Amino acid sequence: MIMVPLAAQTAYRAPRAAGGHPDFNGVWQVLNEANYDLEAHNAKPALALRDGPYGPVPAAPVLALGAVGSVPPGLGVVDGDGIIPYKPEALAQRKKNRENWLTSDPEIKCYLPGVPRATYMPYPFRIFQNATNIFITYEYAGAVRDIYLKDPGPAPVDSWMGQSVGRWEGETLVVDVTGMNDQTWFDRAGNFHSEALHVVERYTRTSPDVISYEATIEDPKTFTKSWKISMPLYRRQEKNAQLLDFKCVEFVEELLYGEWRKKPLGK
């Protein structure tokens, strides 16, 4: 009897797309709590808290949300010891971000999410791939990314989603992301970066309906060393799986500009 090595038994070879590379076409979505906090965290009553008689309670502006405004627990997606390696001054800034979450988190204002946060927000995204192009469109805020397979050179200007340049390493799509501004956060917990952020993503098909996703994050202005997150991305199974419109910019106009109405609506 011939014994087949376990690695050979479990190895998965994805269907081929045009050009002969693994096919990533489809609608994908995460199933985790990374958008709340990349690090492991316990459940808590809200993201915005105030001192109560027996411990923290929800801040007044989110009190009426009840359980809807609470934070579910998460195991974390940071590899290694699970801790983001902040420099001391950057760690102090994260603390300020958390204390001022209601006015500081760019997600609340429907700003573009940046990379890698766009991947693990609780909304689907779609990958379009042919022999010469890869394009990702996200349901949240209509965000998009063009992944260049031929390096166009340095990004001409910093932007919310940065510039993505892809290459193939066997079965893995590797995407080098640079040219991002410092206005995005990694999650709702105040984890942030500077304009020196550099992200290297790795997408690998591991089964018919799963992509193994990794992102290595480097920012010498904010972190003491590079660090990595990893998670599975799941294919949406509905027969009519598609992205619907969630252009939330118009939903926050009252929040951002309502006080300048001729007759403000009040709080």
Quote helix, strand, coil % in the chain, to nearest 5. Answer: 20, 30, 50
Degrees, nearest 5: CA angle 161-164-170: 140
Where are the domains positioned within the chain? 6-40+78-238+245-260, 44-74
- Using a cut of 0.75, tell me whether the model's pTM lies above it: yes
Helix or strand (DSSP H, E) at 234: strand 227-235
d(CA 245, CA 140): 8
Sorted by sequence, the CB contacts under 8 Å of residue 257 that are 6+ apart come out as none
Which residues, at least 6 apart from 170, have a Cβ–Cβ distance to it below 8 Å?
Answer: none
At 125 the three-state DSSP class reads: strand
Query: Is residue 88 classed as helix, strand or coil in its secondary structure?
Result: helix
Distance CA 5, CA 231 (A): 26
Alpha-carbon distance of 201 to 182, in angstroms, equals 19
Alpha-carbon distances, residue 162 vs 3, 98, 113, 165, 251 (angstroms): 48, 25, 11, 10, 25
Distance CA 172, CA 114 (A): 22
Distance of alpha carbon 216 from alpha carbon 199, whole angstroms = 6
Report d(CA 208, CA 258) in Å as an integer: 47
pLDDT at residue 6, as a whole number: 45
User: Domain spanning 6-40+78-238+245-260: which CATH class is it, in words?
Assistant: mainly beta
Report the pLDDT value the prediction gives residue 10, as an integer from 0 to 100: 55
Tens-level pLDDT at each residue, the chain (267 residues): 455 454 444 589 999 998 899 999 999 999 999 999 999 999 999 999 999 999 999 999 999 999 999 999 999 999 999 999 999 999 999 999 999 999 999 999 999 999 999 999 999 999 999 989 999 999 999 999 999 999 999 999 999 999 999 999 999 999 999 999 999 999 999 999 999 999 999 999 999 999 999 999 999 999 999 999 999 999 999 999 999 999 999 999 998 888 888 888 876
